[in-house]
Amino acid sequence: MRHNITKVAGRLLVLAATALLPVLYGCEVDPLVADVPPEEGSPLSADPSFVYPGEESLICHRWQGSDMTFELRQGKGRSDALSASFVSDREILQAMVDRYADSRNLGIYDLLPEDRYELPQKAVLDAGSESVSITISISTPGPGTFLLPLVLMSGEDEIGVQFIEVVVSPETDINMDWLDRTPSVEEPRFVAIIEATENDIRNAGNYILYPDGTGSPQTKRPVFDMVVLFSANINYDEMQGKPVLYFNDDIRRILDNRDIFIQPLQDKGIKVLLSVMPNHQGIGFSNLDISGDRGMINGFAAELHDALQQYGLDGVMFDDEYADYPTTPESQQPGRPMVQLGSFHFLVKALRDLMPVVEGQAWKDRHNLITLYNIGPHSNAVTGGGGWGLFSNNFENIRTAKEKTIWADDYYGNTITADRLALRQWVQDEANQAVIDEISQIEAGGLFDYIWNANYARGDAYNRSSGLGFSSEDVCIAGMTEEVAKKKYGQASFEMSLEIDSYTGKIQHAARFWQLGDNDAGIEGRLEQIGTTLANQKNNGHESIICFNLQYVPEQKDGQSVENPYVTDFPSFMTQLGYEGEPVVLFEGANYDSLVPSYLR
């Protein structure tokens, strides 16, 4: 292949049309498409090639901390001498870095500094020789994600292109003893749910809490105990006729580059969880087929478990929204019935069996977390259209269809919906009693590690909805006593979305999630003050808080320094929850802007 040296960078355009398939510790890329389709059968001759032994089909490789030896191989049917050298023009190499980053949808790469690598001046292949080794020496740069394009040229002939990724995580001075801490009402486990489409998750790890002020740096720790990647999906595969785990491009980008995005958080002791939610395909956690061998349920549990292991994650958060469950018999599709009693019970049980909790297991060793965003048909949540309370295991409420409950034929003038009616009739059918008894033995409150309130308008205790037939003493998730709920249930939850004030131009919390609403004045907002929500959290003794949609905050906007609202939120939360010290939160480390949230666009 002949290329003018000034056009070498343009060749990388081909990458955009090839499949980039990164793996856990390296990146796997399909070989570049040949300029001319090969003739049928084995060619009699071939050009020389520039390859990495053992990974001949790849053009991208991850540096593992030692010299890397490539090979210049003689072409088939050739025996002539060959002298080649590397392109050193930094402008060309930078253009290749930029296009490589575009092809992978990863705006995170810097060209490896010139003083961090050493290339041989020449690679000489003697006549009659089959190959010659080429050693690339790299020394550790500072923290960052770097790329070194290697373009080997013989005159105007391009022998080949290879890429070396160099990933260096920032060192942390966090004392890992913080993992031994016991959460409390005053110092709850903070959980950041990150919208992966818009925010670089690494920023969540740079919020650092000084519980006793900056004068006691030895006790500093990350603000967040857990970071949740939002979100993977449960999809329905028509060809296979079953639910499957699906990663969109944004989640895939993180998982396939875990040492870039996930490992730095885990190195600070932060647990990284994968959120999984339905995807408008009529399938979700609440309508998996419970008949027969429950292969659909067990298969999806196994697929989810395998993904957690493959990508080195610490657990999962179930979020049963946007399933578009069939609501009538006519709307059902093959493999996608209406809501099934026990579907979610059996799924959680199957996953817990695959990743059991070991008695006395320390928090630092937990990589088997199963958590729930409390919304959907199984829940009792007011939000999301109203839950059904199925996890309560109080199936007598469904069977008896008491007046003034959602299971009655008429609930305050509303006729029972077809999906609820079908479930009620199923429970009333004595032929199903054995399965109901099996379901009733699965106490979800004991299987979930955490259950987080999905109501950002107020911190109502256990998010109870009316019409479920529960007494005021009932806890609507079986196996969750008041004592268990204090440790597992996150009553206070906050939507952390930001906006730009139209008058001042300053970045602030989105008013509709942060300020008290006023129906009479037509102001959309919270149903109660944030202080009231925190008071409910404190009075009920809960030890976990979720913060949904933590977003990127720039250091400057329009040439002016930006005040980050998050650094004042968390000390304020702790103080209102009864913490008697003087906590300080600082943002420390790189402020990653690889993605830009919509409020800044």
Catalytically active residues, by annotation: 321
- In angstroms, rounded to a whole number, what is the distance separating the alpha carbons of residues 483 and 140? 50
Phi and psi at 455, nearest 5°, equal -100, 110
- The contacts of residue 184 (CB under 8 Å, 6+ apart) are 543
Q: Own/partner pairs for 64-71, CB < 8 Å, 24+ apart?
A: 64/25, 65/140, 67/135, 67/136, 67/137, 67/138, 68/135, 68/136, 68/138, 68/164, 69/133, 69/134, 69/135, 69/136, 70/133, 70/134, 70/135, 70/136, 70/150, 70/162, 71/131, 71/132, 71/133, 71/134
- In angstroms, rounded to a whole number, what is the distance separating the alpha carbons of residues 195 and 384? 19
Position 547: which residue type? C
- In angstroms, rounded to a whole number, what is the distance separating the alpha carbons of residues 44 and 445? 68
DSSP secondary structure letters along 99-112: HHHHHTT-TT-EEP
- In angstroms, rounded to a whole number, what is the distance separating the alpha carbons of residues 113 and 102? 20
Tokens 């875990």 found at: 258
3-state secondary structure 207-246: EEEECCCCCCHHHCEECEEEEEEEEEEEEEECCCCEEEEE
Is 25:16 a contact under the CB 8 Å cutoff?
no
Is 222:268 a contact under the CB 8 Å cutoff?
yes
Helices (H), 41-119: 90-103
- In angstroms, rounded to a whole number, what is the distance separating the alpha carbons of residues 97 and 531? 49
Distance from the first to the final alpha carbon of the chain: 43
Is 397:428 a contact under the CB 8 Å cutoff?
no
CA distances from 579 to 15, 187, 460, 572 (A): 54, 7, 22, 9
Quote the tokens at residue 97.
């870095």
- The contacts of residue 31 (CB under 8 Å, 6+ apart) are 57, 58, 59
- The helix-helix angle for 530-539 and 566-576 (nearest 10°) equals 40
**Chain-centre distance for alpha carbon 509:** 23
**Max CA distance (Å), the chain:** 93
Beta strand pairing call for 493-495 and 544-548: parallel
Nearest to 273 by CA among 199, 209, 194, 167: 194
